[in-house]
């Protein structure tokens, strides 16, 4: 009997050890990746019914001067999230935006988009979703996405676009283009489809 009890005790110890090893081996030491590991990022500021007016002085000023300024752009959005507290700074407009900008003659052109993001350090604006630029003379550009380089006053896309010019009655479809803000220089990378030309 002694041998049987010893044998049963050994089996019980072996079973208990196996269960303990099983529980220790099943510990949660899984390193989270992807969405699970994403750090929550909070904006430093949130503004609703946001309006920002950009102005510039008509002449260069010193620190003690005062001078007349002119409005060069007005940015409006239902929601603005300011992430300038991050290392890579940006401002986001998740519910869309409208930018009215004015040339030297105070003629207004308008840009609208469903979503926008301004990269503060590079002065690049990424506009997405139903992007429409309407120039003061009625020229219109429609595209799903556009980039606007504010520093160089240059707009470009690699997406499909439709360009309407009421001056000569033409409608042009294409893919990829770049142009200056005033529409005085326009470079379409690829054009296709029908071009409607107004007859006199």
- Distance CA(124)–CA(150), nearest Å, equals 6
User: Which sequence spans correspond to the domains of the chain?
Assistant: 46-59+67-196
Give the model's pLDDT for residue 49.
94
HSE-up of 19 (CA within 13 Å, CB side)?
6
- Determine if residue 130 is left, alpha or beta; phi over 0 gives left, psi from -120 to 50 gives alpha, anything else beta: left
Segment (H or E) for 12: helix 2-25
Q: What's the confidence (pLDDT) of residue 103?
A: 83
Instruction: Quote the pLDDT of residue 132.
Output: 95
Give the model confidence (pLDDT) of 21-67 as tens digits: 656 555 555 565 665 666 778 888 899 998 988 888 767 766 665 66
Predicted pLDDT of residue 145: 94
User: What pLDDT score was predicted for residue 62?
Assistant: 63
State the sign of the Cα–Cα–Cα–Cα dihedral 129, 135, 141, 146: negative
Please enumerate, as own/partner, the contacts of 108-116 that have beta carbons within 8 Å and a separation of 24 or more.
108/136, 109/133, 109/134, 109/135, 109/136, 109/181, 110/134, 111/146, 111/148, 113/146, 116/77, 116/92
Structure confidence at residue 21 (pLDDT): 65
pLDDT of residue 57: 77
Q: What is the pLDDT of residue 9?
A: 63
pTM reported for the whole predicted model: 0.70
What residues of the chain score a pLDDT lower than 70? 1-38, 58, 61-67, 181-183, 193-200
What's the pLDDT score for residue 86? 87
pLDDT of residue 8: 62
C-alpha distances out from residue 82 to 21, 41, 89, 111, 123, Å: 51, 11, 8, 21, 15
Question: What pLDDT score was predicted for residue 128?
Answer: 95
Class of the 46-59+67-196 domain? Answer: mainly beta
């Amino acid at each position: 009997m002694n041998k049987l009890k010893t044998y049963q005790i050994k089996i019980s110890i072996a079973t208990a050890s196996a269960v303990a090893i099983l529980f220790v081996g099943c510990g949660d030491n899984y390193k989270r990746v992807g969405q699970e590991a994403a750090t929550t990022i909070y904006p430093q500021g949130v503004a609703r019914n946001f309006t920002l007016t950009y102005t510039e002085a008509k002449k260069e000023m010193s620190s003690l001067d005062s001078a007349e300024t002119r409005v060069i752009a007005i940015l409006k959005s239902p929601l603005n999230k300011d992430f300038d507290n991050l290392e890579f700074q940006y401002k986001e407009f998740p519910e869309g935006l409208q930018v009215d900008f004015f040339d030297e003659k105070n003629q207004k052109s308008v840009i609208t988009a469903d979503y926008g993001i301004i990269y503060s350090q590079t002065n690049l604006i990424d506009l997405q979703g139903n992007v429409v630029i309407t120039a003061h003379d009625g020229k219109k550009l429609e595209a799903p996405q556009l980039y606007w380089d504010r520093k160089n006053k240059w707009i470009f896309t690699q997406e499909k676009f439709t360009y309407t010019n009421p001056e000569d009655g033409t409608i042009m479809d294409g893919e990829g283009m770049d142009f200056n803000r005033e529409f005085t220089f326009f470079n379409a990378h690829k054009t296709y489809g029908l071009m409607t030309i107004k007859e006199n």
